[in-house]
Amino acid sequence: MRKDLPPRYYLTHFHEFLAFFEGASNTLLSDEAADFIQRFKALDEDKQCIVVRAANRKYAVIDRSQFNYSEVHAPQQQIDWLTLNGWFGDLSHATLNDIAGVLTKDALLSLLAEYGSTQGLSSLTKPKLITRLKDHISSRGWPEHFSLENYRVCLFDNALRFLLFIYFGNTKSRLNQFSMRDLGVMRTRSDSVTDIARFDSKEDAQAAWFYANHYNQLAFYSDEQLVVTAEVDFPATEGISASFYQDQFLYALGLKLLVIDREKGLNILQRAKSDKAKEKWLRESYKDGNEHDVKLVLEEIIDNPQSDTLLAFAEDFYARKYHKKRTSKVTDMLRDASRTLDIDVSQNQQVERGVLAYYARHGIEGWRTENRLWRSLFGLTFWKQLYEEDTLVTEFDRRPLSLKQNNFYEKFEPSIEALLSNLDTKEKLRFHIHKMATQHYGKVNSLFMWSRHLLTPIEALIKHGSLKAIYTLLRMMCKDFESLRDGFPDIMVFDNTLRFEEVKAPGDQLRRNQLVSISRLQQAGFDVAVTTVKWIRDPAQPYVVVDIETTGGNNSYNRITEIGMVKLIGGREVDRFQTLINPQRRIPSNITRLTGISDNMVADAPLFAEVAEHIASFTQDAVFVAHNVNFDYGFIKQEFARLEQSFRRPKMCTVREMRRTYPGLPSYSLANLTKHFHIDMERHHRALSDAVAAAELLKLAFEKDDEAISAINDE
């Protein structure tokens, strides 16, 4: 149902937005922005409503014919007055970005067609088409049939976008986030907001806006504009926040200039301070033969690294280029992987789950960890410092300033050390984590997603790991969160001792952020390995072939009436299960004619809830197989969802497997395949009979699969 918003709803929230600039952020306002606020407040409410409605549009160009709002008296007259008084102008004031935003690609092609042939234009991007349109307009004017009078440009757009940037801290967020908040689409954190400014000074705010605004427009710049932009006097930045936007812009501009003017591109990259800009400059300068200067810079980075990520690159690049080492650290780590596991090829879409299932069959405990374990442990341990001692600028922010600026430890060292000193036993740490999770469960944060299983791997880490190693790694995250916010190993395993494993399937690469995180875990005292996987047809891998009968085809409102399952290990049947299920609704007569299952037959049958635990146990660590698997899997997953339980298993479809291994057959229906391969069926459209037949098809597919598996491993 559509929700009607109160009259002048958008105006109310615009005043809420402007109130933000009456506090600490007032000192950041440019003259243009301050003048806009003053002029806006002097307007009557009808004109304010028009301005606010235009401000809520994504682009500065508006179609005035869409502004006949009932909450505004004589809206077109208000627009005329606002145009005469400098609030709106014609399209000559529009940027390419704004025109591109309002016009679709088809509309652009249609306009260009009025100037002549459009041959070859359809393959161009919107920015390129806009550039072509601008060239035509400059020399010949707008096309005759284009209704210029319908369009207006918000002449206050620069001031508005600056205010939005100061408020949200980026160039993408718009005023619609207020309505998204009120409609419950977006959750916010008003409890952690205090009246602080996002930037250190007015000069820093304007410098940050200069870089962020240019960065946003780069895609629409011609080659000549890019060169001119590189030659302007760039404003200086003092604060960490403003420097971030500067580095982001310089890196993007440098990459574009490398293609146009390589020397200018390298100069721009050299001015940026970010890790990726330094790395790009070093690589490209080395290609150009500037080996001496590159060596000096690498040695400086190694002696005084600004981050773990850059240090990892510098050490590796220096070793390979100047010590003539032939392989990278990443390659070495893969070569030195401490174990190779033979995993069933059915797990090739979720290799980590397959490795954990392999360990479980061998009596070894394991947990999926990746970044979630360490980010959730970090967030829960330091919740007070992150969301009470540090603050958010607005309720729409997710990440505290200290994490954005990567100075968390520097900012809160006494508080961090006092906390870790107080949590001097595993029991105290465990109690603290549970207390924080209980107090703050469900609150928005940028570090992790809440779930009922969140604490399970944390509990295992605290139980089996070294408290000293845990705190050493947490301190590393405090000191350089930017380098250690991701890249952690896939799984954690307890096999008499605790270890982390980064799992790599054939063809997978180890990324540098993973190298950094693995190295830091090792430095902290944890056992870490890179485990490579070799695909095989594992004789110990269980496959459960499933068939269900239902009251109809849509799992949203139809229910299961029968389930049959056959478990195979090593190609042999080891168990089977069948039961009718009471669907708690009438079975249509056409379904009864098809399956033979009637309302009377299921009247005394168990409910799905009564057999759910057995189904989960029967299929645990197995591959879920069915003929047209998404149908059966979707129904069972939906039944578990009704019980507020998750059901996730690796899937395999016998239709797809038979098409792959026996191509060219006239039909791949279950009935026709069983007839073609002379497979006996007790009764079609009864669950266990169909499951047994599908199991025979799976065996046939496996017989043809050995060569394919060998080919995968050889790649």
Residue among 242, 209, 197 at smallest CA distance from 393:
197
Phi, psi (deg, nearest 5) at residue 492: -120, 135
Q: Is the pLDDT of residue 22 over 60?
A: yes
386 and 314, same domain (yes or no): no
pLDDT for position 711: 62
- What does the alpha-carbon distance between residue 569 and residue 279 come to, in Å, rounded to a whole number? 51
Q: How many domains does the chain have?
A: 4
Domain membership of residue 2 (yes or no) is no
Give domain status of residue 442, yes or no. yes
Domain boundary among 174, 192, 210: 192
pLDDT in tens, 220-259: 888 999 999 999 999 998 888 888 899 999 999 999 999 9
- Domain boundary at 536, 559, 588, which? 536
Mean pLDDT (the chain, rounded): 89
Look at residues 131, 158, 192 and tell me which one is the last residue of a structural domain: 192
Q: 351 and 247, same structural domain?
A: no
Least confident interval from 101-110, 233-242, 454-463, 584-593: 101-110
Query: Is residue 4 situated within a structural domain?
Result: no
Q: Is the domain of 314 the same as that of 421?
A: no
- Examine residue 3 and state whether it is found in any structural domain, yes or no: no
The predicted model scores a pTM of 0.72
Answer whether residue 417 is part of any domain.
yes
Residues 140 and 14 in one domain: yes
The answer to whether residue 119 is domain-embedded is yes
Section 185-209 average pLDDT: 88
Exposure pattern of 225-237 as b/e (b: 16+ CB <10 Å)?
Answer: ebeebbeeebeeb
Provide the CA 507 distance to its chain's centre, in angstroms: 23
Helix (H) and strand (E) counts for the chain? 34, 13
Do 249 and 392 share a domain, yes or no? no
Output the pLDDT for position 205: 94
Share of the chain above pLDDT 70, in %: 95
Residue 449 shares a structural domain with residue 416: yes
Distance separating alpha carbons of residues 166 and 148, to the nearest angstrom: 33
Q: Is residue 215 included in any domain, yes or no?
A: yes
pLDDT in tens, 603-614: 999 999 999 999
| Strand partners for 535 | 343
CB 139 within 8 A of CB 116: no
73: left (phi over 0), alpha (psi -120 to 50) or beta: beta
Q: Which residue has the higher pLDDT, 510 or 640?
A: 640
Q: What is the mean pLDDT of residues 281-299?
A: 94
593-619 burial, b for 16+ CB within 10 Å, e for fewer? eebebeeebbeebeebeebbeebeebb
What's the pLDDT score for residue 391?
80
Helix (H, G, I), strand (E, B) or coil at 494: strand
Q: Using CA atoms in the order 681, 683, 689, 694, what is the torsion angle rounded to 10 degrees?
A: 50
- Please tell me whether residues 496 and 377 are part of one structural domain: yes
Residue % of the chain over a pLDDT of 90 = 60
pLDDT at residue 207 tops 60: yes
Asked if 650 and 529 sit in the same domain, the reply is no
CA distance 34 to 15: 14
Taken in order 174, 178, 183, 187, is the CA torsion positive or negative? Answer: positive
Confidence band, pLDDT 50/70/90 cuts, at residue 616: very high
Measured CA to CA in angstroms, residue 455 lies from 246, 386, 448 at distances of 39, 19, 12
Residue 707 belongs to a domain with what CATH number? 3.30.420.10
What Cα–Cα distance (Å) separates residue 554 from each residue in 557, 630, 635, 640?
6, 12, 8, 15
Confidence of residue 1 (pLDDT cuts 50, 70, 90): very low
Q: Which domain holds residue 651?
A: 542-712
Looking at the fold, whether 574 and 612 belong to one and the same domain comes out as yes
Name the DSSP class of 76. H
**In terms of domains, do 158 and 282 share one?**
no
**Domain for residue 1, yes or no?**
no
pLDDT per residue as tens digits for the range 116-159: 767 778 888 877 887 787 788 778 777 776 666 788 999 999 99
Q: Are residues 276 and 410 in the same domain?
A: no
Angstrom distance (rounded) from CA 701 to CA 659: 9
**At 710, is the pLDDT very low, low, confident or very high (cuts 50, 70, 90)?**
low
Choose from 162-171, 313-322, 535-544 the range with maximum mean pLDDT.
162-171
Q: Tell whether 519 and 549 lie within a shared domain.
A: no
